[in-house]
Structure 1
Amino acid sequence: MSDNSNIFDVTEGNFDELVIAASLQQAIMVDFWADWCPPCRALTPVLEKIITETDSTLQLAKVEVDDNMHLAGRYGLRGFPTVILFQAGEERGRFSGFKPQAEIEAFIEQQLNL
């Protein structure tokens, strides 16, 4: 886990407050991951690098799916990692699997119309 305050863990208990409600003020990317998933472990440093480079314009919430299966079900996740971008309390877009930094940055720009 990074020491960047824009990168944080969330659970079923605080997801609505820390992601849905907070996305009214700032876009939040949610990484649904599992420790047993090699693509998840490969994606984490890429996402953290992007968040660190965005200078607080985007936050990253991390959800460990084995401990938060209801959230995975709530969003109909079929594979991991899955990343969902929330803004204004709503899902703006998602992708699954490992992606290189340039593709993720293009996804963010497209979803947020940057």
Structure 2
Amino acid sequence: MTGTARRGPYFCGIDAAMDVVSGKWKVLILWELHQHGVRRFAELRRGLPGVSEKMLIQHLREMESDGLVHREVYREVPPRVEYSLTRDGESLNTALTDLGAWGVERMRRIGAQRVHP
């Protein structure tokens, strides 16, 4: 397995999972791909306000290396690249659903709902 994460030894399953999703944008990239399916780079960037091009590229490369994201390059002029979730990416997103529900409940409790533009 390649990538830039630390790769164990792990203390528990949460430790191993956090190794793959560490970074502010990875979980949000997973959710964006889950919600919208196949996305091009510019579509992902528009769907994630605040992410820099450099950070999105870095996270997508790491997620591809970790087997969470599939990158399809079409040999066209101009070139087209599309990103989608792999089976592992989908299953990780499913595992994160309860965490998202917990976060929504917390936002409701503390009155900290964020409004997206």
TM-score, normalised relative to structure 1: 0.30
Higher helix share: 2
Greater relative contact order (Cα 8 A, min sep 6): structure 1 or 2?
1
Between structure 1 and structure 2, the one with the greater Rg is 2
TM-score, normalised relative to structure 2: 0.29
Higher strand share: 1
